Amino acid sequence: MTSPSAALRVEAAGLEFQNPVILASGTAGYGRELAGVMDLDALGGLVTKAVSVEPRTGAPAPRVAEFSGGMINAVGLANPGVEAVQREHLPWLAANVRRARVLVNVVGTTVDDFIAVISALDGVPGVSAFELNVSCPNVRHGGMEFGADPSVLADLVGQARRAARRPLFVKLSPTLPDIAATARVAAEAGADGITVVNTLPGLLIDVERRRPILGFGTGGVSGPAILPVGVLATWKVSRAVKVPVMGVGGIASAEDIVQYVLAGATLVGVGTAALQDPRLPERLVRALGAWCAEHGVQTLKDVVGRLEWPA
């Protein structure tokens, strides 16, 4: 009988992961913030907070609010910039995270921004891969998201592929009119994996003040409410591309993870639930191992994409 830990090993984008549970970008900081709170090396990996060329102060407070369906946030991609991340944060990750994979989330307002971050970090020890956040506005194309224009997306991914020796994941927005077609463009341009989904745009209002609850006004919705959105996007994208998919959105239980895996995900990203309960991701790994044992699953990869669609 395969051990639970062995059953959870997966391969994606040429990398081996000890299990499929990844901390989604924006929920793990740069790793150090969670030291002593959770065992990062018990997980498959983590995606760092966004990294841009220059430091970003981010959106005004308040930045986060909860509601019955999850959370809404407008952090504004706040980060100290690539030089500080390279100097202060990645060395800590390399020294303290040995078994979990580290993916660096990359943001920018121009293609050159993305390439500059990748070029600066591609050879840094401990970095396993990059995740391109193509939901960022492209200032040279009227503020349209990089992922919304196929030719711009293909150019970005193509240039990033030439600049990087590490694997590239491309993170897509759930608001794209045809997320499967967009994923196909990214894969054909050189993406080694696709992450779906980013947050959904939303608005919460303080009815007493008659003002938005968040300082920025609108924000990104995450948590249980978007679980079906992420599962559907995973199913669509996994049928459209041959590269592995990381499914993200609303995961809070082993059964949620299995939904994503059946829909076609090789990796799964845990976000809002980990913010609410930082010890949950480790429990999810154990619970997923128990699910595999209970269902006679020798290796999780045998379950990936095995959704049986109604006749």
Q: The domain spanning residue 289 has which CATH number?
A: 3.20.20.70
Catalytic residue among 21, 136, 267, 297: 136
pLDDT at 2: 66
pLDDT(4) > 80: no
pLDDT at 141: 64
Is residue 67 one of the residues assigned to a domain?
no
Is residue 26 one of the residues assigned to a domain?
yes
- Domain hosting 31: range is 4-60+73-201+221-302
The average confidence (pLDDT) of the chain is 95
SS3 readout for the chain = CCCHHHHCCEEECCEEECCCEEECCCCCCCCHHHCCCCCHHHCCEEECCCECCCCECCCCCCCEEEECCEEEECCCCCECCHHHHHHHHHHHHHHHCCCCEEEEEECCCCHHHHHHHHHHHCCCCCCCEEEEECCCECHHHCCCEHHHCHHHHHHHHHHHHHHCCCCEEEEECCCCCCHHHHHHHHHHHCCCEEEECCCEEECCEECCCCEECCCCCCEEEECHHHHHHHHHHHHHHHHHCCCCEEEECCCCCHHHHHHHHHHCCCEEEECHHHHHCCCHHHHHHHHHHHHHHHCCCCCHHHCCCCCCCCC
Task: Judge whether 292 counts as a catalytic residue.
Answer: no
pLDDT(90) > 90: yes
Is residue 107 one of the residues assigned to a domain?
yes
pLDDT at 35: 86
pLDDT at 142: 64
Is residue 228 one of the residues assigned to a domain?
yes
Is residue 267 one of the residues assigned to a domain?
yes
Q: What is the mean pLDDT of residues 148-175?
A: 97
pLDDT at 227: 98
Is residue 286 one of the residues assigned to a domain?
yes
Is residue 38 one of the residues assigned to a domain?
yes
pLDDT(157) > 80: yes
**207-261: pLDDT as tens digits:** 999 999 999 999 999 999 999 999 999 999 999 999 999 999 999 999 999 999 9
pTM: 0.96
pLDDT at 5: 86
Is residue 110 one of the residues assigned to a domain?
yes
Q: What is the mean pLDDT of residues 125-143?
A: 84
**5-59: pLDDT as tens digits:** 899 999 999 999 999 999 999 888 999 989 889 999 999 999 999 999 999 999 9
pLDDT at 202: 96
pLDDT(184) > 90: yes
Number of folded domains that form the chain:
1
